[in-house]
Chains A and B, each alone.
Chain A
Amino acid sequence: MASLFVYKKDKVLLHASYVCLSFDGIPILHNINLTIRDIIRPGAIQGQIVALLGPSGIGKTQLFKILAGMRKPTSGTVLVTEQLIPVRAGMVGVVAQTYPLFKNRTVLSNLMIAAQLRGHAKADAKAKALEALALYGLTEKAGMYPRQLSGGQRQRVAIAQQILSSEHFLLMDEPFSGLDPVMKDRACDAILKMSQLDELNTVIVVTHDIASAVTIADTVWLMGRVRQADGTVMGATIIKEYDLIERGLAWHPDITKTPEFQSTMIEIRNDFNLC
């Protein structure tokens, strides 16, 4: 099934070229090249959601940290924003698996500090934080501490905090890990909602949950190991890209019921097993 929507991929928002990483001479990542372009849909605000799939221990988290500017690659570059400037910590929002927040600050204060670090004055930061709380249905939790929140509420606060800090980019590490089906659906909704807030909003979800990845993403990258002829591992790289828009699997409310969804799932699972 081809795309049901009119769209075009416009300017580059994130570009990684020849990213390599090794620890003490042991190769982890090898020549990773990837590009995310702004998706334009006439009459709709459409951000980008990319899922990064790969087996455990392959180096997804290391790539995650490099894309977030929190780790320098051994070689290669990562450029972000419309101006394509080298990434540094703080430019890309990061939501870790455990949704870390400042436990000594209230929910409102957690969001305000993110906005203030972005350069907003205190009054402006408070207005932005309250706006974010309303958007994620957390207004009544403003005065609570992170410890008083449920897992789902904590995740939404963590997303809101990173959005206030980074404006358009959000990296999420295993956002579906340990969630029950209802919570997983809510997490998917929160990610979709975030991507549709601004044309330039871009979410990269690192996961090994194939079904959730195909449900929300417009593009899926699969990581696998590169081996030399003698079997020596050279590190992990992106071995395959699945364009879910072209397959008619993006921006579709009942996507999971379509035969294309099932066939794509089987295809990715088969490729996954070969990684």
Chain B
Amino acid sequence: MNLLRLWFAPNRLLGHSQWQFMIFVQVVAFFTIWWSANFPLLPKPDEILISWWTLVKDGLPFELISSLVLCMEATAITVVVSLILVYAAVMSFFKPWTTLFSKLRFNSLVGLTLFFTLLTSGTHELKLLLLASSMSVWFVTMMAEEIESIPEEEYEHARSLGMPEWRVVWEVVIVGRLDRVLEVLRQNTAISWLMLTTVEGLVRTEGGIGAMLLTSSKYLHVSEVLAIQITILLIGMSLDWMYGYLQRVFFPYSVLARATG
């Protein structure tokens, strides 16, 4: 009873072992309900496992690699293009262009495919362009907000040391916010997987996990859809962990607890 009170008390921090025990109980409860319940539309865990194994035999790992490669290429282009746009906004002339680019996030990819097809010479390039452009608008928006939120006193501190204005930009905006680039990239990865399935659905010739998902969905193979979704979730969580690890290695100051006193 005391344990339940602890779990449902507001703003209560649990100890590590208490936390682990609570998660264990929740996982056991979740799978028990799932297994014992009789929802006609929801496949049982063993059905999903069987579908997942069938998908593996049908080439899921290759589709996954194809999607991951596309995602990594698009991420590399996104980071370079977005950072150029965001850093250029320190100059008044480029600020409206950066703002306009950020507003493009309201546009849908549907309808732009034709336009992008005319710009590119192959389907891979087309997918890359579609994915990189849709990722970039979000990356620019998030990174521009990071830079907007730099307190004026950080600029003044750099100036007080006698730094010329470009050095101020280098120290405060570029080097001083590199850790935030990784954090934005981490958030952007989730968006990229959301976009990836859409892009691969729009351009199916090269396959990919998105095309596989749409095919399963079209033929109402619910257990396959859930197997793919769980795979995407696990990949996403692994990438999230990887970015967190890189942040701890390369930018240890950004994850340090603040000292008191």
A binds B: yes
Inter-chain CA distance A223–B74, complex, in Å, is 59
Q: Are A90 and B159 in contact (CB under 8 A)?
A: yes
Q: Are B160 and A104 in contact (CB under 8 A)?
A: no
Distance between Cα atoms of A199 and B130 in the complex (Å): 66
**By the criterion CB–CB under 8 Å, are A117 and B161 in contact?**
yes
**Residues of chain B within 8 A of A93, CB atoms compared:** 160
Whether the Cβ atoms of A145 and B154 lie closer than 8 Å is no
- Cα distance A89–B261 when bound, in Å? 31
Pair A90/B163 contact, Cβ less than 8 Å: yes
Tell whether A114 is near chain B: CB-to-CB under 8 Å. yes
| Interface: A137 (CB within 8 A) | no
- In the bound complex, what is the Cα–Cα distance between A109 and B176 (angstroms)? 13
The answer to whether B153 and A98 touch across the interface, beta carbons within 8 angstroms, is yes
Query: For the complex, is A244 an interface residue (Cβ under 8 Å from B)?
Result: no
For residue A68, which residue of chain B has the nearest CB? B160
Please give the distance in Å from B105's CB to the nearest CB on chain A.
Answer: 29
Given A96-B153, A104-B178: A90 in contact with B251 (beta carbons within 8 A): no
Given contacts A96-B156, A147-B258, A151-B261, contact A104 B251 (CB under 8 A): yes
> 0/1 per residue, A72-114, Cβ < 8 Å to B?
0000000000000000011111101010111110000000011
Complex CA–CA separation, A255 to B154 (angstroms): 37
Give how many A-B residue pairs fall within 8 Å (CB-CB): 68
Asked if B179 CB lies within 8 Å of chain A CBs, one says yes
User: Does the CB pair A89–B252 fall under 8 Å?
Assistant: no
Closest to A116 in B: B161
How many angstroms from the CA of A152 to the CA of B92 in the assembled complex? 39
Tell me the complex Cα distance, A162–B156, Å: 12
The SS class assigned to the B binding surface is: helix
What CA separation (Å) do A116 and B225 show in the bound complex? 59
| Number of chain B residues close to chain A: CB under 8 A | 23
A150 contacts the other chain (Cβ, under 8 Å)?
A: yes
Nearest CB on B from A201, distance (A): 17
A interface, by DSSP: helix, strand, loop or mixed?
A: loop
Cα distance A91–B171 in the bound complex, in angstroms: 19
A17 CB-CB contact with B under 8 Å: no
CA distance A92 to B156 in the complex (A): 12
**Cβ of A237 < 8 Å from any Cβ of B?**
no
B162 contacts A by Cβ under 8 Å: yes
Within 8 Å by CB of B261, from A100, A113, A146, A152, lies A152
A100: chain B residues within 8 A (beta carbon):
153-154, 156-157
Q: A161 CA to B157 CA in the complex, in Å?
A: 11
User: Does B121 sit at the interface, judged by CB under 8 A?
Assistant: no
Q: Known: A145-B252, A150-B261, A151-B261. Is A113-B161 also a contact (CB below 8 A)?
A: yes
- Which one of A91, A104, A151 has the greatest number of beta carbons of chain B within 10 Å? A104
**In contact, A114 and B178 (Cβ under 8 angstroms):** no
Q: Are A147 and B253 in contact (CB under 8 A)?
A: yes
Q: Which residues of A contact B178 (CB under 8 A)?
A: 104
Tell me if B80 counts as interface (CB < 8 A to partner A).
no
Q: Mark A144-182, 1 if CB is under 8 A from B, else 0.
A: 011111111000000001100100000000000000000
Task: Give B contacts to A, CB under 8 Å.
Answer: 153-154, 156-157, 159-163, 171, 175-176, 178-179, 251-253, 256-261
A sample of 12 cross-chain residue pairs with beta-carbon separation below 8 angstroms, ordered by A number, consists of A90-B161, A93-B160, A94-B156, A96-B156, A102-B171, A104-B175, A104-B176, A104-B179, A118-B162, A147-B257, A150-B259, A165-B162
